[in-house]
Structure 1
Amino acid sequence: MTGLEMATAAAVFLAGGMVKGTLGIGLPLVAVPLLSLFMPATQAIALVAMPVLVSNAWQALDSGDVHGLRRFLPLIATQLVATLLTVPMTLALSPRTLNAVLGAVVLLAVVLLCLPLRLHVPPARERWWSAGVGALSGAMGGVSSLTGPLIISYLASLRLPREAFIGSISLIYLGSAIPLYASMAAHGRLGAADLTLSALALVPVACGLALGKRLRLHLSEVWFRRVLLAFLAAVAVALALK
């Protein structure tokens, strides 16, 4: 990476951290498509590895919620399998095709976040619903690393308490991130240089989280989310046309 690209990447990670600090979600949703505008999408996915792993591991431990692992084990299991099956196919795509796919996934994410699911999931059928959502989100994550919107919509429909929601979604994110990055490493798409740059990205992400926490106290989350979604839609179109 050139000096200009590294400075731009740092600004992108700062923005991603601000979004996560303000909304509690959205780091890869912001960082991956923006990075993909000036580097290969597979490299962009690799660079978010450390911020995604560290932030979600910390949130999972900080929540202290161990019940989420047992409750959502079917989701995590099917998500893992779907991710491992999808990543090799994704890495075989041409850069232009992968950008178009990533743009489509970002647009789908925008639609899901604009129109959150209003499902009623009976407790007796929750395991089956979880398995299906895990398979879909795993395929989505294997293509783009963006499992968040589908998982958020599903967990919101279950009306989990706030701490249980944070703990569960962090565990689920880890369940998709670990096989994703392990598979990329096995296929030679995540090396020591990528991990080093990804570790350096923790600095602007941490700064962004702190700024986002302050913004959350002064800005309307509704308007912030609307501006973010409009911006992501424009980025998705740019990726599809790239």
Structure 2
Amino acid sequence: MHAGVVATTFVVAGFVKGVTGMGLPTVAMGVLGTLMLPVQAAALLLLPSFVTNLWQLFAGPSVSALCKRLWPMMVGIVGGTLAAASFIAGAGGAWAVVGLGAALALYAVAGLLAWHFAVPARHERWLSPAIGALTGVVTGGTGVFVVPAVPYLQGLALKKEDLVQALGLSFTVSTIALAIGLASEHAFAADDLGVSLAAVVPALIGMWIGQRVRGRISAESFRRWFFICLLGLGIQLMARAFV
């Protein structure tokens, strides 16, 4: 894999995250998944995802309150990811690529159709760990963190800043759980850290650029084209299993 392709991918992925507050692992997995196995792409994005999400998590004042509220979801994410990590690490084979494509396509369709639902407070106690576990299974199987965590967090009626932090918390925990899961399946070793570390700088540069231009572009138009591109990537990845 040419270093320039990887660097460009992470600049673009970081830019998307800088503008929208999410999307780095999703874009990176989508693009790199067309060029390498999902498990290789997942190992490559671990450190860039961790660093940028940690930055996002601690950029506001509500970390402790969010952790206290969302810890059952985070426990579910860890459990689901560890349980499913063997799929992306090798047991799933070509179907891991199909799963990655399906996750990207589903997320893109949900974004394009602007699916929104409200989560009643009385259901949050049981729904939070269930959504976390399902998100973990998708993460362990595909390397994508967003389904169904993002729609669920959007349904909690959080303030804008709290939502951005909650996404950062969810993605950070997902990244750590995925790293542990890949390591336990011998699909990620200490030697891989150097390659992943090299992708951090391009991701941070892209994120910084995205944050700088966030207020100068139409967020709605940007998100629409972002989801259209994700949908195309998802369809392309699913089609690879049948050609």
Give the TM bin, normalised by the shorter chain.
over 0.9
Q: Is the 8 A contact 1:83 1:176 kept in 2?
A: yes
User: Which one of 26, 33, 38 corresponds to residue 36 of structure 1?
Assistant: 33
More deviation, 186-195/103-112: 186-195
- Can you list the C-alpha shifts for 1:197-242, whole angstroms capped at 9, x where unaligned? 1111111111111221233222111111111111111111221222
Provide structure 1 residue ranges, at least 5 long, that are not aligned to the other structure. Answer: none
TM-score (norm 2): 0.92
Q: Does 94-103 or 223-232 show the bigger shift? A: 94-103
Question: Which residue identity does 1:99 align to in structure 2?
Answer: V
Shift of 1:182: 0.9
Once the 2 structures are TM-superposed, how far is the Cα of residue 116 of structure 1 from its aligned partner?
Answer: 4.2
Q: Which amino acid in the other structure matches residue 218 of structure 2? A: S
Query: Matches of 1:55 and 1:118 in 2, distance apart?
Result: 26
- Partner in structure 1 of residue 173 of structure 2: 175
Distance in 1 between residues matched to 2:228 and 2:165, nearest whole Å: 28
Equivalences for residues 199-214 of structure 1 within 5 A: 199-214=197-212
Q: TM-score with structure 1 length normalisation?
A: 0.92
How far has the Cα of 1:149 moved from its partner? 4.3
The answer to whether the 8 Å contact 2:39/2:143 transfers is: no
Give the share of equivalent positions with the same residue, in percent.
30
Amino acid in structure 2 at the alignment position of 1:61 = F
Distance 2:166 2:109 in 1: 23
> In the TM superposition, what whole-angstrom CA distance separates every residue of 1:85-144 from its partner, at most 9, and x where no partner exists?
111133233542221121111111112222344333222221111122112111111112
Q: Give 1:170's aligned amino acid.
A: G
Counting only pairs closer than 5 Å after superposition, residues 67-146 of structure 1 correspond to structure 2 as: 67-93=65-91, 95-146=93-144
Letter in 1 for 2:141: V
Deviation track 1:30-75 (CA, whole Å, cap 9, x = no partner) reads: 0011011111110101111001111122222232311111111111
Instruction: Within 5 Å, give how 1:127-166 maps onto structure 2.
Output: 127-166=125-164
User: What secondary structure sits across from 1:48 in the alignment?
Assistant: helix
- Distance in 1 separating the partners of 2:175 and 2:224: 27
Could you tell me which amino acid in structure 1 is paired with residue 175 of structure 2? A
1:16 correspondence with 2:21: no
Distance 1:118 1:69 in 2: 23
Contact 1:117 1:157 in 2 (8 A): no
- 221, 229, 232: which one aligns with 1:231: 229
- Work out the CA distance in 2 between the residues paired with 1:120 and 1:41: 33
Of the candidates 32, 48, 63, which is equivalent to residue 60 of structure 2?
63
The corresponding residue for 2:191 is: 193
CA contact (8 A) 1:113 1:153 kept: no
- CA distance in 2 between counterparts of 1:74 and 1:117 reads 24
Change (3 A) 1:106 1:144: same
SS at match of 2:58: helix
Give the secondary structure class of the aligned counterpart of 1:148.
Answer: coil
Q: Which range moves more in the overlay, 173-182 or 15-24?
A: 173-182
What CA distance in whole angstroms lies between the structure 2 residues aligned with 1:140 and 1:167?
21
User: For 1:1-45, what per-residue CA distance to the aligned partner results, in whole angstroms no more than 9, with x for missing partners?
Assistant: 4xxx21101110010011011111100110011011111110101
